Chain A
Amino acid sequence: MTDLALFESLLSCNTVEELHAKTSAITQRMGFEHFLYGMQLQTKSGPPWQFILSGYPEDWVKHYSDAGYQNVDPVVKHCIQNVIPVVWDDFVSLRPAAKKVMDEAKDFGLATGMSCPLRGFGNEQALLSVAIDRTTRAARQDMFHELGNVQLLANYVHEAVRKVVLKKT
């Protein structure tokens, strides 16, 4: 079941901190320990502008950024090329560098997870990942159960980010 009131509460956030707290609370209520929303905006000239709302373990985010994993992360690649979510376990034919990212993520507690892509007005490109640190069958089943709601949550977080960060309504 979708709890619409919960998702709609994101739209009344006025600051990034509020948005973070609310997204964190919602994903936890859905059974996920970690989340990450990332958005990229292609600028006319120069590098793309990025905004990240991270509920991932801090040391993983730092390691990921230091190692430049964004360029080899299969989740990022999937979300750029597709409009449907990906369940991380389903990746096959990963290059060694991509596999390394996924394996290391597991070591940081991002064991079972999925990512939902989305695109918005103009050239906004975004994704929402959610993860749990268990790899049990039950954990996977719970995740599948929430698949639609996670995609919908991605859409609501994006709408809220447009309002709070991009100042668009």
Chain B
Amino acid sequence: MNDLELFESLLNTCTTDDLHSAISRVTQDMGYEHFIYGVQVNISLTRPYQFILSGYPRDWREHYEKAGYAHIDPTFRHCINEKRVIPVIWNSKVFSSRPAARLMSEAKDFRLASGASFAVHGRNGEAAMLSLASSRSSKQARTDIVGTLGKAQLLACYIHEAIQRLVLSKDALAIRNVSLSEREKECLRWAAEGKTSWEIGNIARISERTVIFHLQNASRKMGVSNRRHAVARAVSMGLVFS
């Protein structure tokens, strides 16, 4: 399976719980035990809206919140306040100020020994970040982090896309009203199985052009621009099996 297929499974999730398990599987496969995704939307300057999907140890999260560590966490500042776009690999240089150094050493006690943080900024001005952490602090751990940096950045983008649909976008509710024809559903089901338009045509005994026609109509109805999104959305909305 290539990264694209792996990550598109995230777009097929129906609930944040499903998404959470899917992310856990993917990140563990990449060698990380823990992840945390958070998004901040500045709907008001004093009280920004926040949503967090945490795969971090619960007691560390509680401690972090209680201590107000977001104010001194350099990865939070980098991704959310400064809205930088490149990732930060955790090291003592990043956590150089005294409070930040303490934060880092405490995190280690909770088995968050090494890791990296990735930023994604959405179309409505929201700032999001994904942190991936490992309990290993060896040189090899760092090599592994650097080696999968591209994959992890892409993962951050896909998680944000999924959160936009599941949490941030009220439009998602309106999509439930989409009604697809039987032929459109059939074509989408086979497309979800990875069949090409030509193959679907053979299975459904219609021409390849007609398959494309049905997929185009279905995409238009759901307001998405490409085939992969059409499949992902139809599956996640339960549109193709009804």
Residues of A with Cβ closer than 8 Å to B?
1-2, 4, 74, 77-78, 80-87, 90-93, 118-122, 141, 144-153, 155-156, 158-159
Q: Which residue of B lies closest to A4 (CB)?
A: B146
Hey, which chain B residues are within 8 Å of A155, CB to CB?
85-87, 153
B176 close to chain A: CB less than 8 A: no
Cβ–Cβ contact B212 & A159, under 8 A: no
Give the 7 A-B residue pairs with the shortest CB-CB distance, closest first: A148-B150, A149-B150, A93-B216, A148-B154, A148-B151, A119-B121, A152-B150
Cβ–Cβ contact A92 & B226, under 8 A: yes
Q: Closest approach, in angstroms, between the C-beta of B212 and any C-beta of chain A?
A: 7
Cβ–Cβ contact B226 & A86, under 8 A: yes
Cβ–Cβ contact A159 & B121, under 8 A: no
Given A83-B122, A87-B4, A92-B215, CB of A147 within 8 Å of CB of B83: no
- The secondary-structure label for the interface of chain B is helix
Given A93-B216, A121-B82, CB of A78 within 8 Å of CB of B226: yes
Cβ–Cβ contact B225 & A78, under 8 A: yes
Hey, which chain B residues are within 8 Å of A159, CB to CB?
84-86
In chain B, positions 89-138 with a C-beta closer than 8 Å to chain A are 120-123
Cβ–Cβ contact A91 & B226, under 8 A: yes
Q: Closest approach, in angstroms, between the C-beta of B124 and any C-beta of chain A?
A: 10
Count of residues in B whose CB is under 8 Å from the partner chain:
40
Cβ–Cβ contact B225 & A148, under 8 A: no
Residues of B with Cβ closer than 8 Å to A?
2-4, 7, 82-87, 120-123, 146-155, 157-158, 160-161, 164, 212, 215-217, 219-220, 225-228, 230
Q: Which residue of B lies closest to A88 (CB)?
A: B226
Hey, which chain A residues are within 8 Å of B152, CB to CB?
148
Q: Closest approach, in angstroms, between the C-beta of B116 and any C-beta of chain A?
A: 10
Cβ–Cβ contact A152 & B157, under 8 A: no
Selected contact of A92 from candidates B4, B84, B157, B216, CB within 8 Å:
B216
Given A83-B160, A147-B3, CB of A118 within 8 Å of CB of B147: no
Q: Closest approach, in angstroms, between the C-beta of A6 and any C-beta of chain B?
A: 11
7 chain-A/chain-B pairs, Cβ below 8 angstroms: A82-B161, A83-B120, A85-B157, A147-B3, A148-B151, A152-B149, A152-B150
Selected contact of B212 from candidates A82, A83, A92, CB within 8 Å:
A92
Hey, which chain A residues are within 8 Å of B230, CB to CB?
92
Q: For B4, B7, B85, B122, which residue has the most chain A Cβ atoms within 10 angstroms?
A: B85
Q: For A81, A147, A150, A152, which residue has the most chain B Cβ atoms within 10 angstroms?
A: A152
